[in-house]
Structure 1
Amino acid sequence: MKILIIYGTIEGQTRKIARFMEEVLQEARHQVTISNAMEEPPAPSNFDVVFVGSSIHMHKYNNATKQYIMNHVDTLNSKPSAFFSVSMAVASNIPEELEEAKKISKDFLKETGWQTSTVWQMAGALRYTQYDYFKKLIMRMIAKKQGGATDTDKDHEYTDWGKAKTTILGFINDID
């Protein structure tokens, strides 16, 4: 099966998830093409399945990802596809945070016209070592509120890799 993975990332966790998906699918003997939405990604028309992912920052998704979806919405709506949304809200202990992430995804899909019924909410990472002083303080405050890690001397990853693998392979097996 020919599979396309398009991603938009700010801090790199969405790219890491997309690369993980690529490895899992290649191990399952699928032909996989992966591309950053900001780097002239291929059109989805020559692929059997398309995964598109983006991280949520400031309640919005990556603009290049949004533009890609809008440019190819008819093709995306005509074949098996899934959207993977990456955010820290998924790792939160506050149920309203997860509901907000789901609402952002739903509104995004409505705005772009993409009618995929498959949306994966995936937890991201806190990249404290990459943040400037101001962003580090803000992210620490948010993490503390949500019950996350507040040690700013190291990064903290929340992505559930086992669940991601099971979800991806389950989706492919269902359409195969």
Structure 2
Amino acid sequence: MTRVLVAYGSSEGQTATIAERVGDVLDSAGHEPVLIHLKHPPSGLDVAAYDGVIVGASIHAGSHQGYVAEFVRDHRETLNRKPSAFFSVSLTAANADPVEREPARELLEAFLEETGWEPDGTLTVAGALKYSEYGLVKRFVMRRIAGKASGDTDTSRDYEYTDWDEVEAFALEFSSQLS
């Protein structure tokens, strides 16, 4: 049984939920996933002890979590030697217009260039608007951003845009590289 590290950064929980689904798919495919939130990694985490690594991060204010970038830079050599993949979560990826989704892909590519990581697979995936979890100011800002993008602005409910079939296909593709 291959051990797969699924390491992620999540600010509002959607990236964690996506990482859990990736872990479930890997588990169903006969692998042993280990999920770790990189904001608080266990001491002595040995990335080299895993057969493969998937890293996930979300985009906020134009960049991925700094602690995720630091993890990737610190373990770049190991990540570049093993089967590895990266998924990037953003609301921009939810846009129906491919041209409007392009900034999400550009931020993913910038992250990889900045960290020197060359994963075997990547995915830009749509996140969620969790109005119910935002404070007053953030709810106002997110509603305004959503309105400018012709998105969902009813702050009395939450919106999930994640394409779970796409997430599962990404995890299965990675799984096939481990066999």
Fold shared by both chains (TM-score > 0.5): yes
1:145 aligns with 2:133: no
| SS in structure 2 at match of 1:147 | coil
What percentage of aligned pairs have identical amino acids?
39
Structure 1 runs (4+) deviating above 6 angstroms are: none
Within 1, Cα distance between the matches of 2:129 and 2:85? 25
1:91 aligns with 2:99: no
| Matched pairs, number | 176
Indicate the structure whose relative CO is greater, using CA pairs within 8 Å and at least 6 residues apart. 2
1:126 aligns with 2:126: no
Match of 1:63 in 2: 66
1:21 aligns with 2:33: no
The answer (yes or no) to whether the contact 2:146–2:153 under 8 Å persists in 1 is: yes
Unaligned runs of 5+ in 2: none
Q: Cα RMSD over matched residues?
A: 1.3
TM-score by length of 2: 0.93
The answer (yes or no) to whether the contact 2:51–2:178 under 8 Å persists in 1 is: no
Match of 1:38 in 2: 39
Q: How far apart are 1:93 and its partner, in Å?
A: 3.3
| SS in structure 2 at match of 1:153 | coil
Match of 1:105 in 2: 108
| SS in structure 2 at match of 1:115 | coil
TM-score by length of 1: 0.94
Within 2, Cα distance between the matches of 1:34 and 1:80? 16
| SS in structure 2 at match of 1:102 | helix
1:4 aligns with 2:5: yes
The one-letter amino acid of 1:81's match is: S
Within 1, Cα distance between the matches of 2:162 and 2:79? 26
